[in-house]
């Protein structure tokens, strides 16, 4: 038997194996992608608690609803158009010309963001909570893992400046919301962002989602990269090219990282790597011993709120001092 025949047989076997593997794994990848990153019905990712079976999640939801009810008199419904989509939000005006924009994670609507608003109100900021694209009342079908959502943040910011007289902003992001906040703040359109607070940020969506797939008992090879392919195909963003690890190298605003030692999706070694890569000269990291991914405040409320208020007040006072010096 000639060498070329042997090579041809080996190649045929390899190609047949690859085809067979893809035949089995592509439907799995499609299912994972549609379950986790596509709004497949009007009811999905609506303004309801995303995980009522989770005791902590339900408590966060109920506490957030209570905050919203207590501050309803300060609320105004707002909306913008971005990328052909109508997006909805709520603006809580407490009389400041500074505003915190709270960006929730995947599957979450603006009501979830109420839960994180308290320390910003106490720090003297107004609060904008938003339904990200394809969540809550906002239009859209595909989650873009924080990429196009960051462009929506810029649209929201310009709207708030023009229509509500806001002069400067803080961004608070949770999970994918932290990625959106980073991408927005690192753009040249966000020089009016005074600072950023990120909970559970990840070095890349692929790296974090791999851990999520393991958690839901899905095979990672080659399903993970098939999911990434679907993100590129349908959401029109490149999860390999756009990552928080790259974005932090362009950040110069004050930035506070909030990380949990028990977080199994944004694991501590990766979180530390993200902090060390950050270019800002005014960066701080706070570690929490208790609390899973996106569940830090419910387990460490006083420490969490104080970390935010101290960081915001420190840099707002510093900014005010510099303004007085310039005057």
- Which percentage of the chain shows pLDDT scores above 70? 91
Separation between Cα atoms, residue 265 and residue 175, nearest integer Å: 9
Least confidently predicted of 6-15, 90-99, 142-151, 261-270: 6-15
Residue 2 burial by Cβ neighbours in a 10 Å radius (0-12, 13-18, 19+): exposed
What confidence tier does 8 reach under pLDDT thresholds 50, 70, 90?
Answer: low
- Tell me the pLDDT tens digit for each residue of 118-138: 999 999 999 999 999 999 999
- Tell me the pLDDT tens digit for each residue of 31-83: 999 999 999 999 999 999 999 999 999 999 999 999 999 999 999 999 999 99
Instruction: Tell me the domain boundaries of the chain.
Output: 38-203+243-326
What are the angstrom distances between the C-alpha of 205 and each of 120, 123, 176?
27, 31, 8
Tokens 């005010």 — which residue? 320
> What is the per-residue pLDDT for 305?
98
Least confidently predicted of 93-97, 188-192, 253-257: 188-192
For residue 270, pLDDT over 50 is answered with yes
> What is the per-residue pLDDT for 20?
61
What confidence tier does 24 reach under pLDDT thresholds 50, 70, 90?
Answer: confident
Q: CA geometry: angle at 83 spanning 79 and 86, to 5°?
A: 30
Given a contact cutoff of 8 angstroms between Cβ atoms, the answer to whether 286 and 259 are in contact is yes
pTM of the model: 0.94
Mean pLDDT within 172-196: 96
Q: Which CATH class is domain 38-203+243-326?
A: alpha beta
> What is the per-residue pLDDT for 186?
95
Strand (E) or helix (H) holding 293:
none
């Amino acid at each position: 038997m000639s060498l070329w025949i042997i090579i041809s047989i080996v190649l045929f076997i390899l190609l047949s194996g690859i085809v067979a593997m893809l035949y089995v794994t592509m439907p799995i990848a499609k299912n994972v992608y549609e379950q986790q990153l596509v709004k497949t019905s009007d009811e999905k990712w609506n303004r309801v608690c995303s995980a009522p079976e989770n005791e902590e999640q339900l408590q966060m939801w109920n506490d957030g609803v209570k905050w919203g009810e207590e501050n309803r008199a300060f609320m105004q419904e707002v909306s913008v158009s971005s990328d052909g989509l109508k997006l909805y939000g709520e603006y809580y005006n407490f009389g400041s010309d500074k505003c915190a924009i709270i960006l929730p994670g995947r599957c979450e609507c603006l009501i979830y963001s109420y839960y994180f608003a308290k320390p910003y109100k106490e720090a003297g900021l107004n609060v904008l909570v938003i339904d990200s694209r394809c969540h809550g009342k906002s239009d859209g079908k595909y989650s873009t893992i924080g990429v196009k959502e960051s462009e929506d943040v810029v649209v929201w910011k310009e709207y708030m400046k023009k229509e509500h007289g806001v002069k400067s902003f803080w961004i608070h992001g949770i999970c994918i919301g932290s990625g959106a906040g980073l991408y927005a703040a690192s753009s040249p359109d966000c020089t009016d962002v005074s600072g950023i607070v990120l909970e559970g940020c990840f070095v890349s969506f692929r790296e974090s989602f791999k851990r999520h797939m393991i958690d839901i008992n899905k095979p990672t090879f080659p399903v993970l990269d098939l999911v990434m392919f679907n993100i590129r195909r349908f959401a029109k963003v490149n999860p390999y090219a756009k990552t928080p690890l790259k974005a932090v190298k362009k950040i110069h605003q004050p930035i506070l990282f909030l990380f949990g030692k028990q977080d199994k999706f944004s694991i501590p070694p990766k979180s530390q790597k993200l902090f060390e890569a950050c270019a800002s000269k005014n960066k701080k990291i706070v570690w929490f011993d208790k609390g899973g991914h996106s569940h830090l405040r419910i387990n460490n409320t006083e420490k969490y709120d104080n970390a935010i208020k101290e960081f915001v007040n420190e840099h707002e006072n510093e900014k005010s001092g510099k303004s007085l010096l310039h005057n």
